[in-house]
A and B are shown apart, each in its own frame.
Chain A
Amino acid sequence: MTSPDNPGAQRLTPAELQAVSFRRAQLGRRGFDEDQVRAFLGQVEQELVRVLNEKAAMQHEVGRLRDRITGNPQGITTAQAEDAHIQAVRILSKAQETADHYVADAQRYSRELAEEARRGRDEILAEAKARAVLVLEEAHRQATMAAEQVVPSSEPFSGDERRNLESEIAYLRTFSDVYRTHLRSYLEALLRNVEEWEHSERDSLSSARAPLPRSR
């Protein structure tokens, strides 16, 4: 355990936290939510880093003050310049951290959007497939009805044969009519969709395409 009286004792470090791994919960058993555990560990790690950095900063400050008390007068200007540099380093580090957060947020946002779009695509595809099956069934149903409604006539063909042929023709004609109508309306909707997509995709792409410098 950590003890202030024994500086040699094993301390918990951020690196150790990063290396912690948990066994997976057995199949069918409940365990901790892995994401939650990870997120918490990340928080703890950041906190430790922060504490350690504060400590380093304070040590630096102590050293500076000690130098000032015991200090040689010539050292003071160099010490001040160094202080200013350390301050600048801290400010720049803060700025960089902020930039990194923004970049990470933007990337996560873009990943989530893309994943959502991908799910949307899969759903649209699945729905289209299901719909195609329905359209086919509907066409069959209507065509069968049309075929059954063919009235027998008294022309030279033998009655059954003719009737069969006529039903067949009626079936196919209706089937193709129904199928074509459905297909046309569906394809038109699909095309509109695609056009919208293409439009928004064009708008979202950066137009930055600089020529490259020659390599040495």
Chain B
Amino acid sequence: MDAQGLKDNFAQVAQHGDAVALFFYSDLFLRNPGLREMFSIGMSHQRDRLLSALGRIVAQVDNLPELVPFVRQLGADHRKFGVEALHYPEVGQSLVATLRYFSGAAWTEALARDWTDAYTLLAKVMVEAAEEDAKQRPAWWNARVIAHERRRFDLAVMRLVTDRPLPFQAGQSVAVEVPARPRMWRYYSMANAPRPDNTLDFHVRLIDGGPVSPVLVRAAVPGDWLKLGPPVGTMTFDERSGRDVLLVAGSTGLAPLKAILERIALSPAPPRVHLFFGARTTDGLYDLDDLTKRAAGSPWLTVVPAVSDDRAEGTAEQGVLADVVARHGLWRDHDAYVCGSPAMVDATTESLVRLGLGTDRIRSDKFADA
């Protein structure tokens, strides 16, 4: 197989941008009309994702040790969308047709053969990964809403119970699909450590104009069913480090950190934990009552609320989290976990690094804005 030939050909095709993915999906749906309903009505994000995944795969086509884990993950991830082994040849056919169309006169029999071989190999890896994954866990979990509490007009805390155990690590998240918005999966973090009764807590902030969060915040009621994908995420608790812990949460970025907090509370000798919980306004500190209660019952835990836009009241500190955390001392010997908006996570990480904390001691998770 001529890897450089594939790369050059893909670079030429990719010049056509969005049109490539548009052609690919149209070709796929024309040949297999049944596949259309596996996708949402709007397809522009889907096309972006396809192109970036293809780009990544082609860039590493001659570097299998890097490529295979990514492709295996893709294969396992696609199970929750209802993708099965029989779909792979259909996709391959449309992919080659698309490449051929955009290659124009540059298309050769050798390219056709190389692309087909490369795709067949990738498909095999994806199918195998999906099959292995299927032996360990379901493609998705059904979960029923058992409690839904609106803490502010745009903030809800909800509890779900899954139809079977969903093993995860504190700090991880799952993709969520609501029946009212089919095929639109959005990631939310569990706000609790795993429990024997299969209940999961989620904190949801309504994103203006978003498709899924408004449904979860405004319309979800106990009794509703949702679908959950498998847990993902690397911002999990490092229990072997033994160092003290700094948790920095912006708004609903609190959820995974609360899960880590619960996880720490279960250990026989918890380290000292500082939890900073920030929001723009005082009414954005939607879970402060519970945190304060926990702090009162746990001598190892200190909770510091902070507001950036309102005048600080009560125990709250004034300022953005990056500054408030910096004011509170030396974190050089801590493990830090940071979660919130991209801007908040970047600012806080920068601030901590400036204070002498190594980036290898900072685990973070950024929340999408849409």
With CB as the reference atom, state the residue of chain A lying closest to B18: A49
Residues of A near B210 (CB, < 8 A) are 111
A118 to B152, CA, bound (A): 12
B residues contacting the other copy or chain, number (CB 8 A): 42
Q: Does B105 contact A (CB under 8 A)?
A: yes
Flag the segment in A20-28, A172-180, A208-216 that touches B.
Answer: A208-216
The 8 Å CB contact of B26, one of A63, A96, A118, is A96
State which residues 32-56 of A face B: CB under 8 Å. 45, 48-49, 52-53, 56
Q: Are A49 and B16 in contact (CB under 8 A)?
A: yes
Q: How far in angstroms is the closest Cβ of chain A from B252? A: 16
Contact B30 A88 (CB under 8 A): yes
Question: What are the interface flags for B118-158 relative to A under an 8 Å C-beta threshold, 1 for contact and 0 otherwise?
Answer: 00000000000000000000111110000000000110000
Asked whether B329 is an interface residue with its Cβ less than 8 Å from the other chain, the reply is no
**Which of A92, A97, A99, A110 neighbours the largest number of chain B CB atoms within 10 Å of its CB?**
A92
Q: Is B320 part of the contact surface with A, judged by Cβ < 8 Å? A: no
Q: Is the CB of A13 within 8 A of B140?
A: no
The reply to whether the CB of B114 lies closer than 8 angstroms to some CB of chain A is no
Classify the secondary structure of B's interface with A. mixed
Pick from B19, B23, B138, B179: contact of A212, CB below 8 A. B179
Query: How does the 8 Å CB contact mask read for A114-147 relative to B, with 1 for contact and 0 for none?
Result: 1100100100000000000000000000000000
Complex Cα spacing A210 to B27, Å:
31
Contacts of A67 in B (CB 8 A): none
Using CB atoms and an 8 Å cutoff, list the residues of chain A in contact with chain B: 11, 13-15, 45, 48-49, 52-53, 56, 59-60, 63, 85-86, 88-90, 92-93, 96-97, 99-100, 103-104, 107-112, 114-115, 118, 121, 201, 205-206, 208-212, 214-216
B residues whose Cβ falls under 8 Å from a Cβ of A: 14-19, 22-23, 25-27, 29-30, 41-44, 101-102, 104-105, 138-142, 153-154, 179-180, 206, 208-211, 215, 218-219, 224-227
